[in-house]
Amino acid sequence: MRKEDLRLLFLQTTVNINRAWGEGITSDRTVRRWFKKFRSGDESLKDEEGRGRSSNLDNENLRAIVEQNPRQSVREMSRELGVSSSTVSDHLKQVGKVNKLDTWVPHELNENQQARRFEVCSMLFLRNINDPFLDRIVTCDEKWILYDNPKRSGQWLDCDETPKHFPKPKFHQQKIMLSVWWCAIGVIHYSFLDANQSITAEVYCNQLEEMHHHLQKPRPALVNRRGPILLHDNARPHIARMTLQKLTDLGYETLPHPPYSPDLSPTDYHFFKHLAAFLSNKTFRSNVEVESFFKDFLASKPKNFYQRGINDLVDRWQKCMAVQGSYFD
């Protein structure tokens, strides 16, 4: 094998190990040493006697360091403790710590907001029992798609410990806004806004009109007889007088939706969640690339993807009621 091919093999192996077991768990030099040992017939991963620092690491000291700052990387802890990254990783397992992604919350809810969430969820849950309506729901939202999509950082926590909440970081970089409308049978309509265009009541009403036109083809009975039910949030263009009049003209009922509640919006907790995972670590150079990638995302989803997202509302209403309107995990 050529030297260049070997170098790439060592590099890719190092990346794969760190991705699977935690950033900084091993280095290119260590991987090269392992390959050399494997070729000689020695398949042990233990360091040779006398190599590296002592592994006398006190678990309680490590636990205290982790719990003081759970967002440290394995490499940072290994430097502080004077031991190898692999030693830190082994002892983290011994004390029951695993790396979990941050949990972002949109808002710190006050008592009135929690009460409103409980009230709305209770009402919708009971209504669906008496008169099932999930198949009538049309839902929508807008999302900025960034040209550069980094991964979320993680925290070292106990196996049964819930990740701590952190506000979403505010990105100021090149991006494009996506507007998507969908229901239990799939995406009805989507559009990407021009760079200098924002969501206003007029833009939103135009999207409503276009979505309604597209909905008539796959769901004529819903449009003409039963009547669609729109689930959207309380953004200003969604509740403007012009929008309310448009919804009346089109014959849409609007479901109540409590403020600061993306966990009760299928587009946020389901559609955009999966889209964000699809976008993770992706970079784009143009709007055309973003739109092409979004089409790939839609093509990758099975037919039951959309129905599952809508049906999860019932479980989420119940969870919200169980915690008296607080955010739930």
Q: Are residues 41 and 190 both part of a single domain?
A: no
Q: Are residues 116 and 84 both part of a single domain?
A: no
Q: Are residues 130 and 11 both part of a single domain?
A: no
CATH assignment of the domain containing 65: 1.10.10
Domain, as residue range, for 297: 111-322
pTM: 0.64
Q: Are residues 156 and 140 both part of a single domain?
A: yes
Say if 134 falls within a structural domain.
Answer: yes
**CB-based contacts of 261: which residues, under 8 Å, 6+ apart?**
117, 233
Q: Are residues 194 and 262 both part of a single domain?
A: yes
Q: Are residues 125 and 270 both part of a single domain?
A: yes
Helix residue ranges, H only, 265-327: 266, 273-279, 287-300, 304-322
Q: Within 13 Å and on the Cβ side, how many CA atoms surround 258? A: 27
pLDDT (tens digit, 0 to 9) for every residue of the chain, 329 residues total?
Answer: 667 677 777 777 877 777 666 666 677 777 787 777 777 777 665 555 444 444 578 888 888 888 888 878 888 888 888 888 888 888 888 888 877 655 555 678 999 999 999 999 999 999 999 999 999 999 999 999 988 866 555 666 676 676 666 555 454 568 899 999 999 999 999 999 977 778 999 999 999 999 999 999 999 989 888 899 999 999 999 999 999 999 999 999 999 999 999 999 999 999 999 999 999 888 898 899 999 999 999 999 998 999 999 999 999 999 999 999 999 87
Q: Are residues 226 and 121 both part of a single domain?
A: yes
Say if 251 falls within a structural domain.
Answer: yes
The per-residue b/e assignment along 202-237, b for 16 or more CB within 10 angstroms, e otherwise, is eebbebbeebbeebeeebeebbeeeebbbbbbeeeb
- The C-alpha atoms of residue 177 and residue 184 are separated, in whole angstroms, by 23
Quote the number of domains for the chain.
3
- The C-alpha atoms of residue 323 and residue 51 are separated, in whole angstroms, by 53
- The C-alpha atoms of residue 288 and residue 272 are separated, in whole angstroms, by 20
3-state secondary structure of 15: helix
